[in-house]
Every structure is written in structure tokens, then in C-alpha cells.
Structure 1
Amino acid sequence: MSSDTTTTASLQWPAGYRINPRVDGPAADVVAAFREIPVAAIGDAMSRNIGTIGLRQYHARLDTVLCGPAVTVRVRPGDNLMIHKALMMVQPGDVLVIDGGGDVAQALVGGLIRTTCVAKKLGGLVIDGAVRDLCEWAEEGMPLFAKGHTHRGPSKDGPGEINIPISCAGMAVLPGDLIVGDADGVIAIPAAEAARVLELGRAHLVKEAKIRADNEAGRSDPERFDATLHAKGLPV
């Protein structure tokens, strides 16, 4: 088959390898609006059971917000060949979400990759694996959440897959999902549901603002909790 008629779907990839095209995420205005919604509020709007577990931020500023469509990568633990390939495919604002199997024996990214990420204007990285060169990642300009860190560097042999469904630190991620991260954690929002979740998140913030004002004024509603206790048969 000639190169001009070959499609990604028709390619016969070797076992363990796959490179799918980049998937567009939500509209740019929706992505920008999510920068104003805390991850905790997004999680509350999405049933409070979605998001990464066990990651920490490696950028220094607590008020940094990571927000952008996902480019997903699955790698063999300790190998970053497909991360380098994915960085050839990203567009400005994309978030690289990497399933490294939670392994922290070898770092998947370091300072040299950070230089590429900055040049590509990447929106950030979320890694279920390890990083190194912490002083460089602590500089402003490239948000990074990862499982851990080590000085031990990666191999570049493969296998790996790009833009496939992955699991990252307990969170399912599809290519093009909107990824939002802040000091509280990281969450993935399906692209088709982003506008609706944005509406729910904004409504939740309005609700929280009223509760906060009542608490500050000493007007907290005891029946809000007593009703639940009554329903359980407690004599309160």
C-alpha cells in the first residue's frame, strides 16, 4: 500500500506498539473557563469519585493550574521512547498524560524533556511514574504531577502506545479528555461532557459561596445534617 493511502487504522502495528492521531478536545473557550473552577468543585460536580490518586505536584507554585486536552501515552515502565514520539505530535496547550504503570524505579522524564515541553508550549504533564531533575521542574512554566522521583534515567527501547484509552493513577483517560489539575489533584472530564460539567461546577461554587457566607455569619443550618441523622434513626 502506498504511503499516501495508508491510514493509521489499516497499519499492522507490532505487538505493544500503536500511534493514533491526536484527538481534539473541547472548544477553546470551554477549556479557558475551566481554569477558574477548582478541581475539588469539578470533582463534586462529577460525583466525587473521579480523579487521580497518589500523585504529587513537582512545580513549585501551589496556585498553578494545569488545564488542556489530553494526549495519552502508555509506556513500558522505565521507558520513554513513545513519550518522545508523542512530543512530536502535541499542539500548544495539550496535556501529556502518561501511564507508566505506577513504577518509580526509573524516571520517565527529566530536565531535557522539560526543555522540549516548554518549547512546544505544552499545557503540562501528568505521569503515573517517576521524574528526575526536580530543580528544573520546580521552575515556573511547566506544570507536572507525578507518582514519585528518582535519579535513575529511562531506556528508549519501547514498546508503547499513543492516543489510546489509559489508566493514570486510578483515573481513566481518553485522548481529548479535558485534564484539569491544581494543588488538590488532577481530574479528567470527557470532552463531550465538558460544557455540562462546567455548568455544574459553576453552580456548585455558587452553592458553596452561600454556605461559606452563612458559616462566617454564624448562620450554619443544623438541619442540613440533623435531617440525615434523623433519617438514620438517631434521636437528635
Structure 2
Amino acid sequence: MGGVVVTGTPRTPLSLIDILAEYGVATVHEAQGRTGLLASGITPIQRGTRVSGTAVTVTVAPGDNTTIAVAVEQCQEGDLLVVAPTAPCDMGYFGDLLAASLKARGVRGLVIDAGVRDVADLRKMGFPVWSRHVSAEGTTKGNLGDVNVPISIAGQIVRPGDAVLADDDGVVIVSRATVAEVVVAAQRREEKEALSRGRYLTGEIALDVNNMRPLIESSGVRYVDYQTWKEEWTS
């Protein structure tokens, strides 16, 4: 059964994509109202890597990676491949050969809600991957999905051309229409956290830095010295 390959899809400007990479996934997730985060089951196969890119979206049939090969042709410099099977599958859809092909086209990484293999080779060649599974079991060929259509992956909708940011904390999606404002919000959050960090380093604690004492007081928390507690609770 054939799929659909959409060509010429609009992309988030790389200038914004590159600025987004200056901030971590946690910061961007918070900056855009705690939205866009893929489920925690999507984890990196490497450590200490942060990448951003424009989404090229792919759906694949269970146990068949043909559409990933089709998608390679639609990729360009600055893209990040985002792949979701149409039904859960933990097989190794992706390995070093496909990575070599994508890397040659300037693709910055892969996010896949399924399995990958050749993990040691992927790490060695410096091709970043975030996946749900690692599996040596290979896939077949012949059942086609879609390329560059909106997809559902790990609890989020990803549209072709959206911004994707991934690091050790996971993967967050930023809509192409809102990237510019999210970048500004992330910058403001970073500046605020820098001020807070400075206060923590001087010995202040979160109750004061974040003005939490009124909240604690209104919640009814009662401070009791040890002797009083001992008399009340152990008598």
C-alpha cells in the first residue's frame, strides 16, 4: 500500500533553530507554557548532546523501515527526522547506514518512537538519536507510510517544519508559528534563572528566592520545636 510524500514544506528558519539550541529542553518546555514535551520514554542513546532542527516527519508501518529511506530524499541541511510507527513496534528501524546517508545531507539527528540498532556505531559517528527502544532485530521492506504530514508521536502532534529541540532531558517540539516568541520567552527565563542562581550561591534558599513563605503559611504548615513535637506525638 502506498503512502503520501509531501514536498516543499515550509521550514522554521535555521537562524531561529540555532538560537533555540542555546537553551535546554527543560527551559524551552517551561517557556512555552509547559507544552510540547515528548513522553519520557523517548530517551537519548548518547549523553551530553543537544541538537535542534526542523522536523521532517515520517510514519512507518510496524516492522518496516521503507519510508525512512524515502524520507531521506526530502531532507536537507538543518533537518531532524521524526519517526512514528502506525502501531507500537520495538524493532530496530534505523542503524549506521541510514545515519550515514542522513548525515551526508546535513540532517542533525533522529527522534523515533520505536527501536534503533548499531548504537555503538551511531555514537562513534556522532549521529544523535532519541528513541524508545534499542533492538538488534531488523525490519522488512515494502509497506509504505507517509512523509511530511502531521504525525502523533509520544503524546504530541508534530508538523513538518516545526522546531525540534533534544538533549539529555528529552525532546520538545515548538510549533513553527511560535518559535520566535518562544525564543524570547526562553531568553527571559534564562535571565531570571541566572539571577536566582546567584542568590542560591550566596546561601539563600528556595523559600525566599521564589517567595514561597506566604504559600507555606496559607497552607497551614505549623513549625514545632522538637521537644513540643516529642510531647505531642510520642506521649
Q: Same fold (TM over 0.5)?
A: yes
Aligned to 2:233: none
Indicate if the aligned counterparts of 1:19 and 1:163 stay in contact, CA closer than 8 A: yes
Deviation at 1:67, TM superposition (A): 0.7
Instruction: Spell out the pairing of 1:100-179 with structure 2 (5 A cutoff).
Output: 100-101=85-86, 103-179=88-164
Aligned to 1:34: 20
Match of 1:203 among 188, 193, 215: 188
TM-score, normalised with respect to structure 2: 0.87
Aligned to 1:18: 4
Indicate if the aligned counterparts of 1:67 and 1:181 stay in contact, CA closer than 8 A: yes
Report which stretch shifted further, 107-116 or 20-29. 20-29
- Measure the CA separation in 2 of the matches of 1:33 and 1:133: 31
- Measure the CA separation in 1 of the matches of 2:174 and 2:31: 11
Kindly provide the amino acid, as one letter, of the partner of residue 227 in structure 1. Answer: P
- Measure the CA separation in 1 of the matches of 2:155 and 2:17: 23
Deviation at 1:231, TM superposition (A): 4.0
**Runs ≥4 in structure 1, deviation > 4 angstroms?**
233-236
Indicate if the aligned counterparts of 2:29 and 2:37 stay in contact, CA closer than 8 A: yes
**RMSD over equivalenced CA pairs, Å:** 1.8
Instruction: Spell out the pairing of 1:88-107 with structure 2 (5 A cutoff).
Output: 88-101=73-86, 103-107=88-92
Aligned to 2:217: 230
**Structure 2 CA distance for partners of 1:221 and 1:155, relative to 1, 3 Å:** closer
Deviation at 1:230, TM superposition (A): 3.4
Kindly provide the amino acid, as one letter, of the partner of residue 82 in structure 1. Answer: T
Deviation at 1:118, TM superposition (A): 1.6
Aligned to 2:37: 51
Q: Which runs of 5+ in 1 are unaligned?
A: 1-13
Kindly provide the amino acid, as one letter, of the partner of residue 19 in structure 1. Answer: V
Indicate if the aligned counterparts of 2:58 and 2:148 stay in contact, CA closer than 8 A: yes
Indicate if the aligned counterparts of 2:75 and 2:102 stay in contact, CA closer than 8 A: no
Aligned to 2:227: none
Deviation at 1:117, TM superposition (A): 1.4
Deviations 1:127-168 (A, max 9, x none): 000011111111243111001111110111113011111112
Kindly provide the amino acid, as one letter, of the partner of residue 80 in structure 1. Answer: N
Deviation at 1:28, TM superposition (A): 2.1
- Measure the CA separation in 2 of the matches of 1:215 and 1:102: 47
